[in-house]
Amino acid sequence: MKTASAVGLVALVTLAGGCAGPGVLRDLPDPLFAAPRQWPVPPPPAVPQPFPPSREPSPRPMGAVTIVVDAGHGGKDPGALGVGPLPEKTININVAMKLARLLEQRGAHVVTTRDSDRFITLDGRAALAERTRADLFVSIHADAARRASATGATVYIARNAHRESVQAAESILAALERAGIECRGIRRAGFRVLVGHSRPAVLVECGYLTNRAEAQRLSTPSYQAHITEAVAEGIADHFSR
């Protein structure tokens, strides 16, 4: 496992909420107010599919792929504080390092953005995806909401995500659901770690730290391992398609 150096990276104000900035709540669509749009959504018969069909790439063994695993926040940026015993940055690094080990065990070449409690700019994280020509960039986060009852994991892709990002998100979401983890679907966003480079990318919000029960679960090694195993399985499924 290789870890990118943060030397020379330019400081940048981080995003709000689960991947936006320290302690700030994001006011994203919430099913408690209105059902969020999930991906894929079957279009009406007369409406074309949002992504045109394309020839499926040949399956690649995990040993032939490079995956960048990004633990969100770190150092001076704690991420969401929530109501649990651990800040987001700690949960993120715990899950990310477990994920890196599982992917390496499956034969992937894994590069991590950080392996300790240190601050790295969003542009620095995005640059690493480009520099390594990552076959997939996976950013790990925990969410926050103004409504304390909001729960569930969410998989994000860029607003104009290309097909491979969509497919990776679909595989990860399916694996989370098979593992019995509550999910809120796939959403699109303009997060810098998704749009600041040209490589396939997903961002996984593992749950809400503003929900007391979910924050407690996310702070336990057993649940962190459970959600990590599901994400790793989803990534492996994606590359075996």
CATH number of 14-24+61-240: 3.40.630.40
Residue pLDDT, tens place only, 129-166: 999 999 999 999 999 999 999 999 999 999 999 999 99
What pLDDT is recorded for position 57?
46
Q: Where exactly are the structural domains of the chain? A: 14-24+61-240
Give the pLDDT band (50/70/90) at residue 62.
Answer: confident
Size of the chain, expressed as the number of residues it contains: 241
Residue pLDDT, tens place only, 92-106: 999 999 999 999 999
Q: What is the mean pLDDT of the chain?
A: 83
Residue pLDDT, tens place only, 3-58: 554 333 333 333 334 444 444 445 444 333 233 434 444 444 443 434 344 344 45
Three state DSSP letters for the chain: CEECCCCCCCCCCCCCHHHCCCCCCCCCCCCCCCCCCCCCCCCCCCCCCCCCCCCCCCCCCHHHCEEEEEECCECCECCCCCCCCCCHHHHHHHHHHHHHHHHHHCCCEEEECCCCCCCCCHHHHHHHHHHCCCCEEEEEEEECCCCCCCCCEEEEEECCCCHHHHHHHHHHHHHHHHCCCCEEEEEEECCHHHHCCCCCEEEEEEEECCCHHHHHHHCCHHHHHHHHHHHHHHHHHHHHC
pLDDT > 70 in the chain, percent: 75
Whether the per-residue pLDDT at 169 is higher than 50: the answer is yes
Residue pLDDT, tens place only, 226-240: 999 999 999 999 999
Give the pLDDT band (50/70/90) at residue 201.
Answer: very high
What pLDDT is recorded for position 8?
38
What pLDDT is recorded for position 14?
36
Radius of gyration over alpha carbons of the chain, in Å? 17
66 or 33: which leads in pLDDT? 66
What pLDDT is recorded for position 5?
43
